[in-house]
Amino acid sequence: IALGDCGFGRRKDAGVVRATEVEDAVHWSAALAGRGAAWRGAAAAEGDARGAAAAAEAGAVVAGRRGGIRATRTDHATRCEARRGTGSGSVAMAAQVSQEELKKQAAWKAVEYVKSGMKLGLGTGSTAAYAVERIGQLLKDGSLRKIVGVPTSTRTAEQAASLNIPLATLDEVSQLDLAIDGADEVDPKLNVVKGRGGALLREKMVEMASDKFICIVDNTKLVDGLGGSKLAMPVEIVQFCWKYNLQRLQRLPEVAGCKAQLRMGEDGKPYVTDNSNYIVDLYFKRPIADAYAAAKAISALEGVVDHGLFLDMVTTCIIAGTDGVEVKEK
């Protein structure tokens, strides 16, 4: 199927962020190795067998119910500690996993839900890119077979094609088994804000066509209420009379107090989506009082294509944090 179908064209600047950085532990491990013999000798001479100790923690599962949402946590933090038996001091070190590595772990966790023969929605963003990459790996080694992916942006379409993931559009595959994608904000009820990457319309279309939607985020995206991060809540609008629609958005009582701004590109010109539309970003000083009322009011405006409020859509949320990966399910 040609990538040009339904607007899935190629873009030269499309890319995937893979900036995994893990804290270097060479300095302490070298020192530890140098002192090891002395510690063992001192411990033997004193009859104190405390020596050098190491411990690791993984797979701690915490289950609970909060407002109909089940939470499970897998702790990936690894701790390594060495102590002197003489009591004169100790050397301790915790190897911390980087944020990018945690995103990768969360994405791989999401791919565990993928089975051979599935029709998948492929999300857009740095975390979703890890999931697309993993699916490509599993297809290559034969662990997955007969997968069809529907990408949510030109960036994702190009990445998936480079990994030899068979692609289609909603024209060819109108119902999907599963979608995996990121989010910009997640509230306690697993309602989310999406679209700061500019792909909100295609993301919503693909994820609404999916039986299940797995959302992947890091823990900085958690908010008490949507709009609470004080960052952009995007609204995609047609280019025609965009100032008129920007002003109408800002005047809506359901989003009272917001500041509306036309999104600009790096070239200083209005940002244009894959669908040739503009984006108006709404900024809030406090969380939206009623996200459902706001969504309805925004959608009612002529010239609005769609908005970044994804309500009652997420079925599973995988949250990557410094303490590990947490899975919440409705």
Catalytic residue numbers, as ranges: 203
User: Between vectors from CA 235 to CA 234 and to CA 237, what angle results, nearest 5°?
Assistant: 140
Token output for 102:
């945690």
* Contact yes or no for 91/28 (Cβ under 8 A): yes
The separation between CA 251 and the C-alpha centre of its own chain, rounded to angstroms, equals 32
Q: Determine what percent of the chain falls in helix, strand and coil, rounding each to the nearest 5.
A: 30, 25, 45
Residue whose entry in the numeric block shows the structure tokens 């669908």: 275
DSSP letters, 5-67, are: GGG----TT------------HHHHHHHHHHHHHHHHHHHHHT-TT-------------EEET
Gap between the Cα atoms of 126 and 101, Å rounded = 11
Residue 45's contacts (CB-CB under 8 Å, 6 or more residues apart) are none
* Contact yes or no for 319/218 (Cβ under 8 A): yes
Token output for 165:
């993931």
Nearest alpha-carbon partner for 194 in 119, 69, 271, 295: 295
Gap between the Cα atoms of 263 and 282, Å rounded = 10
* Contact yes or no for 74/59 (Cβ under 8 A): yes
The interaxial angle of helices 99-111 and 126-140, nearest 10 deg, is 50
The separation between CA 207 and the C-alpha centre of its own chain, rounded to angstroms, equals 15
